[in-house]
Structure 1
Amino acid sequence: MKYLLIAACALAPVLLACSKSEADPAIAADSGCSELVVMPATAHAISPAQVQRANVLFAQNSLDLNRVRYVRFWHDSVQTYYPPYAPLVTDHVSVDEYANGLRIFTNQINYAFKGGVLYYTAGTLTRGTQLNAQPALRVPQLRTLFFAAVAAFDPSNLGLATNCAEAEFGYYNLNTAGNTTENLVKAWKVAVKGMAYPFAFFEDNGGRLIYYDNGIRTFR
């Protein structure tokens, strides 16, 4: 997986520039290690050969490949018992959707192409947003919010606060269940650098916690 890490907003691109004038002064900035993650749509998580194949599939099925990031590619085949008796190959491509150059954290779409022709789509395509791509919160403030959430939900993991936090700016659909109307807000995904869990999503406007996940699953 390719992405850029920019410490504490230094050298951030214009679209992800730190906006001190808009940042909520009520949220203190943690001086500990914090890094901005920039994940462009071109930073595909699959191999170059798979990217090339996915590009062909999208192009020949008139799908927009300019606002998606490929995150998974695999294929399977079924032996046919009629001429020409060749296996029928199905390619599967999972993508993250983007708007205004930013990842929509809640929009992963799965496409299936049978014999090169799209026949199945899982997920709901975004309608886009009128929101801009300018963040209000700064990465050190996200570090404060994140480790406060860790303290609240995972008090046994307080030692994580000695680690570096990384934050990615994007959009989050608050209405992910059912057929409700899409409601995108500017948001951040924050995690401990180098760890899959815990992670959290915070709304950019005011820093409200949207979702926290420590990776623990209970099955009954």
Structure 2
Amino acid sequence: MKSRASHLLLAMLLLTPSAQANLTIHPMRTSVGAEKAAVIRVYSQSTQPQYVQASLRRIVDPAGGGEHEVEVPASQADIALTPSKFALAGGGNRLVRVIPLHGVEHETAYRIYFEGVRAPQDGAVETPADRAQASIGVSLVWGALVNVLPANGSVRLELRGHTLRNTGTLRVGITSVADCDAAGTCVAHDVSRSLYPGASLQLPVTVDPGHTLQLRYRLTRDGYREHLERLKPLSPE
């Protein structure tokens, strides 16, 4: 998996590298489905009240070479956050719900960012937290990865030469691959990569005729449960 996808904690220090995070979140990764919402809890690490804002971005080409994030208007997003802005008491915590809005055809990845911001200016009085943030000049941003699952997801993988392609509708988190001969002797190769629907992966081995590729992988919906599948190479297109 690419570093952007595997490192979910993002800290941006604007002026000083010695600042401490004034909030944390849990979990750092979750998923929602057609009938399954999720929750993320935001914890205050400060004795002062804070005002927190959550923002949403869609991940394009997740875990791929062209991975990047784009802002998504609320009207076009597959999920909604409630609340997206809230006050957080010193030492307190707040639950944010991640709600699926409509179904998706393929597993999709989003990242939700949480950051401390200034309180609304419509008649609000500056709080100690506002003054502290202004004096420190630091903004720490936490990012949580959220996968949106299709209602009837499927796993389909094709092997042609040393190219593995995900033709299904679910992300496949590959944990290992092995080249196995007809006698069942397998030679393992190190591969650790998330393969999203429509993506391809160049394997470190070409499976010879009569051999099979043994894949061990995990699915978002199954957590740490590991699946095992053997693939026969298809003829080159």
TM bucket normalised to smaller: under 0.3
**TM-score for both structures, normalised by structure 2:** 0.26
Compute the TM-score of the two structures, normalised by the length of structure 1. Answer: 0.28
The structure carrying a bigger helix percent of its residues is 1
Which of structures 1 and 2 has the bigger CA Rg? 2
